[in-house]
Every structure is written in C-alpha cells, then in structure tokens.
Amino acid sequence: MLTRYVPARKLRSSDSGMLVIPKQKCTTPGQRSLGFMAPTLWNSLPALVHEAPMIPRFKSTLKTHLFSLAFNAR
C-alpha cells in the first residue's frame, strides 16, 4: 500500500525516506483514502521527524513539530 520513493537516478532526495503519492482520478473520495493521505502527510514532515532512530524519539519530535504548527512557536 505504501511505497518508498526511489528516483531514477541518484539525487539528494534519494535518502530522504519519502513515500510515493499515488495519482488519483477521483477528487473527493480518493484523496481521503489512507493510500493517498499517509504519503502526503509523511512527506510534509521535516526530515528530523522521519529520520528519528527510535520510536520514542520519533514521537517526541512529531509532538514538538505538531505543537509548533498549532501554536506558531518558533
């Protein structure tokens, strides 16, 4: 269901841990599916979040990122 992004040639984004966002023909129902939204949200996270080495660190950096978005903290 979720596919890792692998570019055709060596790019800086090769090791970024991004996911492929599937092309959708439906505008409303298709864009709400897990297969579309999960890669979209994952790719929008900063590299610090999805490169966390362990689950507790991932949770901590994700929480910090979401709080900074919600409260415009810098």
Structural domain includes residue 4: no
Mean pLDDT of the chain: 78
Domain contains 40 = yes
Which neighbouring-strand residues pair with 4? 19
Residues 45-61: b if buried by 16+ CB within 10 A, e if exposed: beeebbeeeeeeebeeb
User: What is the number of domains present in the chain?
Assistant: 1
The verdict on residue 59 lying in a domain is yes
Is 5 among the domain residues? no
Q: Please tell me the distance from the alpha carbon of residue 16 to that of residue 46, in angstroms, as a whole number.
A: 10
pLDDT of residue 20: 73
Q: Closest Cα to residue 16, out of 50, 41, 58?
A: 50
14 found inside a domain:
no
Domain assignment of residue 64, given as a range? 21-71
Please check whether residue 30 lies inside any domain of the structure.
yes
- What is the pTM assigned to this prediction? 0.61
Query: Using one digit for the tens of pLDDT, what is the confidence trace for 38-70?
Result: 888 888 899 899 888 999 999 999 999 999 988
User: Is position 64 within any domain?
Assistant: yes
In a domain, 12, yes or no: no
Condensed to tens digits (0 to 9), the pLDDT of residues 9-38 reads: 776 666 667 777 777 655 666 556 777 778
What's the first-to-final CA gap in the chain, in angstroms? 35
